[in-house]
Structure 1
Amino acid sequence: MLEGTAGKLVADAYKGYDRVTLPGRRVRAGCLAHVRRTFFDAQSVAPDAAKQAMDFILEVYKIERAALDADLLGTPEHLEMRQTASRAVMDDFKAWLDAEQPRHQPKGPMGEAINYALGQWDALTLFVSDPHLPIDNNASERALRVAALGRKNFLFVGTNEAGENLAGLYSLIATCEANGVNPVDYLADVLIRVQTHPASRIDELLPHCWKSPPHANTS
């Protein structure tokens, strides 16, 4: 679905995304939540060091929370907060990781957590220069949880094509929710209108561009 598209992709270090993050395509942005998870799992062998790493990450989330509370997300003021406060935290985190790395076995939980963070450092710090870029991909993971919970109720979708169609519908509904659009109103309108809508203007029917018709029930 993302092949041939441009922009940024917030993801972990999974190699499967390389097909869409090759040079000239999407730019990979790191996920701080995934990094934190590796240090959380390392607490059993290095509790003090793991907590220190998670504290660095917590400071970044506190800055993001302050921007949210002040209604500054995506604004020039938010960018300034990231380029000053967040950059300072990430610089200190990087220095700490470099100093801490030789103290742990490379194949141990803490060593692997540190190597994971350092191995994608450029991607992890990309958010500092873009106020519209999330610092994690938790929103997409929350949306995918619906599919995971539903597997027990609809184990079989019939065919590969049906599975792809279902994935497309999931994406549309999750995008509606992310943009404050009522999915029922959206699908009721678009599934009819798409049959006659000009193909050259199909982007107008995407959830973030869609305009609710006057008669739609938005309650």
Structure 2
Amino acid sequence: MNIPYSTITDWVSNTCQLITPLYQSLLKEAMDSAYLHVDETPIQVLDKDKQGQTHRGYYWVYHNSLKDLVFFEYQLGRGREGPADMLKDFKGHIQTDGYSGYNFLNKEKDITLFHCWAHARRKFYDALKNDEARATYALEQIQLLYNLERNAREASLEADEVLSLRQREAVPVLTALHEWMKLAYMEVTSKSAIGKALAYGIKLWNGLTAYTTDGKLNIDNNKVENAIRPVALGRKNYLFAGSHEAAQRSAMLYSLLGTCKLNDINSFAWMKDVLERIAMHPINQISQLLPHNWTHKA
């Protein structure tokens, strides 16, 4: 059967309207945490006011790694307005990359902003061709930190045990690395790749080392970056969203299906069951249908 594109679009739109209460419930549960990973990624969107070109919008992504939940929100831009509104009542730790758009969080008394070692490591990797000796040394020291994290995971250590391990073994490595970086920076040109890598680490040092103060925190922001990967794959297939409304509907689906993935839930089985039940489900118990709370009923 040849089904008109407009009909399929209406089906998706109507489905998203039906599950909007679930999306809103997921937002509440995802934000009910003292620790979030935050990142953003672009999406091209058709805009009726921009003839012949697309608008560059952004998905802002909030990952609750303590509960394995992910929430996508579409915003027209990359400015602070989106996260400022989303995080206005948040209290706790926020982990991000080094993007300056998050710096406003440093002014919030109840928020501790800290950063990601994967981004710092990537910059030294990119500097290998520029200064192999210094870049290699930095990468070796960073690998020591990651080895500790792997050992902690393999040993299934509790948060207090992870904290003790980091204080005992990671902090000395970090202290020595910081001193080396400051000395090395004075020996290189600031515009070189190695100079930029060193400057990045030195500038964000307090944020890069904050993970050692709490065993529940992660060394990097890879959890939220992994959640964003389907968007990168999608960009290669659908190229753009048909409207700003469509981009937000996609954010809704990325959130709910992404949370299915994080909780090893069959997304098709979950969606089919929920769509058959949600119209009759009590709105004050809507959270029961969220992927991580879902119990399949034959």
TM-score scaled by length of structure 1: 0.83
One-letter amino acid matched to 2:226: R
SS at match of 2:127: helix
Report which of the two structures shows the higher radius of gyration computed on alpha carbons: 2
One-letter amino acid matched to 1:213: T
CA distance in 2 between counterparts of 1:123 and 1:204 reads 37
Runs of at least 5 residues in structure 1 that lack an aligned partner in the other structure: none
Specify which structure has the bigger relative contact order, considering alpha-carbon pairs within 8 angstroms and separated by 6 or more residues: 2
One-letter amino acid matched to 1:215: K
- Cα shift at 1:110: 0.8
Does 1:197 find its partner at 2:271?
no
Residues 176, 81 of structure 1: alpha-carbon distance in 2 compared, 3 angstrom cutoff: farther
* 31-40 or 129-138, larger mean C-alpha shift: 129-138
CA distance in 2 between counterparts of 1:10 and 1:62 reads 20
CA distance in 2 between counterparts of 1:183 and 1:26 reads 34
Counterpart mapping for 1:41-120 below 5 A = 41-72=126-157, 74-120=158-204
More strand by share: 2
One-letter amino acid matched to 2:295: P
Runs of at least 5 residues in structure 2 that lack an aligned partner in the other structure: 1-72, 74-82
One-letter amino acid matched to 2:112: V
Q: Percent identity?
A: 34
Partner of 2:246: 162
CA distance in 2 between counterparts of 1:165 and 1:20 reads 28
Equivalenced residue count is 211
RMSD: 2.5
Partner of 1:212: 294
SS at match of 2:94: strand
CA distance in 1 between counterparts of 2:117 and 2:283 reads 40
CA distance in 1 between counterparts of 2:240 and 2:96 reads 28
CA distance in 2 between counterparts of 1:164 and 1:149 reads 17
CA distance in 2 between counterparts of 1:180 and 1:164 reads 24
